[in-house]
Chain A
């Protein structure tokens, strides 16, 4: 049985300890804190809290070292990142127009039947755009993987083998939050997706985001105003039909029901689940086995408590 526990932010009120206590595992505890970037590996507090030794994989630093020592891989990686960034800009151009028209249609008054079909079509277009974007991203990753396979990069291969062997022998993997793009990038760089599939995982914030099928960025209260939620990349696909939303209380504008409704309908049938301080969603073989303090965004843009089944 695969077990994933999704948590909200761990500061200032951590609930990692109770998640660890209620998760059965056999073997050493590993952590992935690549999202913390320069602060990666500062896990003394975590180890002290859970009362167990924790080994950090050091993915961020190891990637820095590997890329510094393997210039061909570094060039390839840089090329991929530049392409992804460029593609994201192009996607945003289309996304902004599509979202604006869908939002307008959801707030327009008129013949109900006529309007309903146009609203559905607008949301379908949005979903198609998101799918198209993910396909384009997947093609870039596939191109990277194919070209990487032909490189003679012994240092990178050795580092990858070492890390994969640590993950293979782990009893429990903790994935911390932080910079979500860095986190997914480092997990991919070392090819850990398949190895993580059968491991008990406790992940919080950005860590929870990367476990899903797609990673959705969002912030309605940024200094420059609300930004449109956008798909960044595919996730690891370890958790089906969930869009984890860390800091949802502060990052989402719940007063705009139309905006929230559009958010929920755009990503359906995935459930958009809040992960705030104290939140916990425990998944066992894909089933929601236990929940604390998490809500889903409904079609009408409201909150509804997520319940275990």
Chain B
């Protein structure tokens, strides 16, 4: 048990005032090297830590500290880790998922808000925070006609600071682009990395699917939209390099699958792939157990595993070690490397969430699109 809790309960009976000061004087969860202790305060019949860490039970019980209204759970956690969680509180027969009221650190995603556990040594990277010295790029909305989807699609386009029509820029096409802006501070990251010369000034097309469960699961229409409609359309409107080496796709989760699938349909068109926590589901034998929504993905990945081929020049892959997809991603790595592609694989002490993907952007983008940092001394 954490030392401050041990000290608190050592002086029995524990007065409400000493509990108050314990709560006031500490930040939660309680973090020490290699270990984290979660604390919840209130009246309940049961309290569980709910997190989605592969290898651990999704609901782990907190224990009530005798003579107090505090509940606690200590768990080993490697330094530098980060994951998101909620408490499940059971009282009077009702179960309720709640945020950790004692922890101010929260993360947001399309499904809501979670509390964030940051273990010893984790620090939010400075390049994800606004830097007053970084010049700001701009966002514009373009409409791209799509025969594949039978409708026009809106795309947000990031233009870097000091954008000039006379130059030729690399292009990155992003899946779930609006989510990247909202939940992964993507514009701040781009502004900062470009300002620091870690990546070149680039144009970024932020796409957002109205039905990602369908369109991102190896839908031929989506690949056609990106390869035959969006890319040529952007090149007509914007000063984008013609070289595949200057053209990349980014996606996380099913977005990574959509990126991979599109690159496979249009090999050597998108020379750079940034694939984060890709849902690369496959089956070695028998039918997979991932649910019918992933039938198309499994069929595609199985097909690629049977007949692999080079589809890009460079691939940056990452996956959290606290997500079950680490198995699929690790399995894919040697296959990709065997095709002669340059693959950089990073295992993150994090799970399947947006801030994990945010924290991977510096290494991923700068490896795929190295900036002029080495040569520039302002």
Contact = CB atoms under 8 A, between A and B. Distances in A.
Given A223-B362, A223-B363, A246 B377 contact: yes
Contacts of A181: 375
Contacts, number: 51
A177 interface: yes
Interface string B338-378: 00000000000000000000000011001100101111111
Contact of A206 (B164, B362, B366, B377): B377
B366 A224 contact: yes
A246 B375 CA distance: 12
A11 B373 contact: no
23 contacts: A9-B377, A177-B378, A178-B376, A178-B378, A179-B372, A179-B375, A179-B376, A180-B375, A180-B376, A180-B377, A217-B375, A222-B366, A222-B373, A222-B374, A223-B198, A223-B362, A223-B363, A223-B366, A224-B366, A224-B370, A227-B374, A232-B375, A246-B377
Interface residues of B, number: 18
Contacts of A205: 377-378
A219 interface: yes
B374 A217 contact: yes
Contacts of A179: 372, 375-376
A65 interface: no
B167 interface: yes
A247 interface: yes
B162 A224 contact: no
Interface residues of A, number: 24
A247 B377 contact: yes
Contacts of B370: 224
Interface in A202-237: 205-206, 209, 217, 219, 222-224, 227, 232
Contacts of A224: 363, 366-367, 370
A209 B374 CA distance: 13
Contacts of A232: 375
A38 interface: yes
Interface string B148-191: 00000000000000101011000000000000000000000000
B186 to A, nearest CB: 17
Contacts of B374: 217, 219, 222, 227
A228 to B, nearest CB: 11
Contacts of B367: 223-224
Contact of B378 (A9, A217, A222, A223): A9
B133 interface: yes
Interface in B63-95: none
Contacts of B164: 38
A124 interface: no
Contact of B377 (A11, A39, A178): A178
Interface in A254-304: none
Interface in A3-44: 9, 11-12, 35, 38-39
Output the residue of A180, A222, A247 with the most chain B CB within 10 A: A222
A206 B372 CA distance: 13
B177 to A, nearest CB: 22
A57 to B, nearest CB: 19
Nearest to A12: B133
Nearest to B196: A223
A209 to B, nearest CB: 6
Given A12-B133, A224-B363, A219 B376 contact: no
A1 to B, nearest CB: 27
Contacts of B363: 223-224
Interface string A160-180: 000000000000000001111
Nearest to A206: B377
A246 B162 CA distance: 24
A13 B146 CA distance: 51
